[in-house]
Amino acid sequence: MTRRKHTPWSALACACACALLFGGHASARAEPAFQLAVTAAFAPDGRLWRLRSDGHQVYADHSDDFGTTFSKPVPVNAEPQPLAVSVEERAGIAFAGDTVHVVYPVAAGTGTARLFHALSTDTGRSFSIPQPLAQAPGRLHRFAVNSAGEPQHFWYQEAAPGAPTALYRATADLPQQLLATGLCDCCRPALAFDPQGQAVIAARFVYPGNIRDHGLIRVPAAGPAMVQRVTFDQWRIAACPTQGPALAITPAGRLHLAWFTLGAHRGLFRSYSDDAGAHFSDPEAFGDPDAYAINPAVAAEADAVVLLWQEYRGGSIRVLTQRSADRGANWGPARELATATGTADRPELLVHENRFYLSWHTRGSGYRLLPIPAEPCCKDVP
């Protein structure tokens, strides 16, 4: 895959690129064995699972006390491999009954990776020999198991050398399906499932004139995907923003979208749709663009919607949260949930039994799972 040259594009990009927000594999004092990116997820039984990497092996462990203690890490791949795990290209974990699915990227050439897949059927004590899910290398792989227990693999790849970046899907019955073309190949797509169990993807596209706005890709059980543009910020830039959107879908079918832009408007925005994405509410700003508000995450459960994002102020990285109790119609104040200095992973938002949690790994404090209480909570943002 031909990669674009990443060039400076604004003061915000400089902040994003610095080690304070996206530190990679340096700083061996706190946790010398593991890289920065940590993946965590709750299993249906409430157990918290965690994936970490040392650059050659992926390790899985779990906690039955909400992250206070963890089991002994178990290597997913017994044989070392040249892993491509990063803040953007993450390992993944999903559950189907008693089966634990783990996927992770293995380097396959400049800027590309192949996704390997392993299973555990004994609650993580051992894993099957990992196998590649696709022979052709790609980027920004996503993996999930739908409500029917069917694994689905999504990835970016050029349809032909020099062609625009395309999005593909593979399932057990369909080895490769082209879903959309013209994607921004550095912005991680967001994946969710609608109430019918069909995949919905929010992604940044490259529209004519180097406009980098967002589109929604709905993937039916059969037939071609339905693609439509859903943001119109007119962000014109011939470089990689490295800022993908966030997406959540409620059991009632409301879509919640959050994204970053430096177009006609500047900063983070949110919107929702009640007709499967055909129409969205007017975009509403959140976060402080002057504090480099980036990396949104959104989750929804019943009538509650929660946002997380990062800001940088006074030498510290701050994770902030905002909550709506009425499906996104009204929002409480932004609150500071956690802070860190030095390098920090992207904050992840987890949901378990109608409760929301921040999953965050930093060099200074290690891994933290923090509950996000209902309002009022945390510390008011100055």
Whole-number pLDDT of residue 175: 85
Our count of domains for the chain comes to: 1
Whole-number pLDDT of residue 16: 42
Kindly state whether residue 329 falls inside one of the protein's structural domains: yes
pLDDT interval class at 106 (50, 70, 90): very high
pLDDT digits (tens, 9 = 90+) for 273-308: 999 999 999 999 999 999 999 999 999 998 999 999
Q: Which residues neighbour 67 within 8 Å (Cβ) at sequence distance 6 or greater?
A: 48, 367, 368, 369
Kindly state whether residue 211 falls inside one of the protein's structural domains: yes
pLDDT interval class at 9 (50, 70, 90): very low
Mean pLDDT, the chain, integer: 89
Whole-number pLDDT of residue 374: 84
Whole-number pLDDT of residue 2: 39
Kindly state whether residue 283 falls inside one of the protein's structural domains: yes
Kindly state whether residue 50 falls inside one of the protein's structural domains: no
Provide mean pLDDT across the span 165-172.
94
**Parent domain of 209:** 1-30+184-382
Count of CB atoms within 10 A of residue 98's CB?
Answer: 12
Whole-number pLDDT of residue 20: 35
28 pLDDT more than 70: no
pLDDT digits (tens, 9 = 90+) for 188-208: 999 999 999 999 999 999 999
Q: State residue 15 phi and psi, 5-degree precision.
A: -65, -40
Tokens of 8: 């400076």
Q: Is 19 in a helix, a strand, or coil?
A: helix
Kindly state whether residue 98 falls inside one of the protein's structural domains: no
Whole-number pLDDT of residue 376: 56
pLDDT digits (tens, 9 = 90+) for 322-369: 999 999 999 999 999 999 998 999 999 999 999 999 999 999 899 999
Whole-number pLDDT of residue 375: 64
Query: ∠225-173-132 over CA atoms, to 5°?
Result: 100
The CATH number of the domain holding residue 345 is 2.120.10.10
Kindly state whether residue 284 falls inside one of the protein's structural domains: yes
pTM comes to 0.89
Kindly state whether residue 172 falls inside one of the protein's structural domains: no
Provide mean pLDDT across the span 237-248.
95
Q: State residue 143 phi and psi, 5-degree precision.
A: -140, 140
pLDDT interval class at 378 (50, 70, 90): low
Kindly state whether residue 176 falls inside one of the protein's structural domains: no
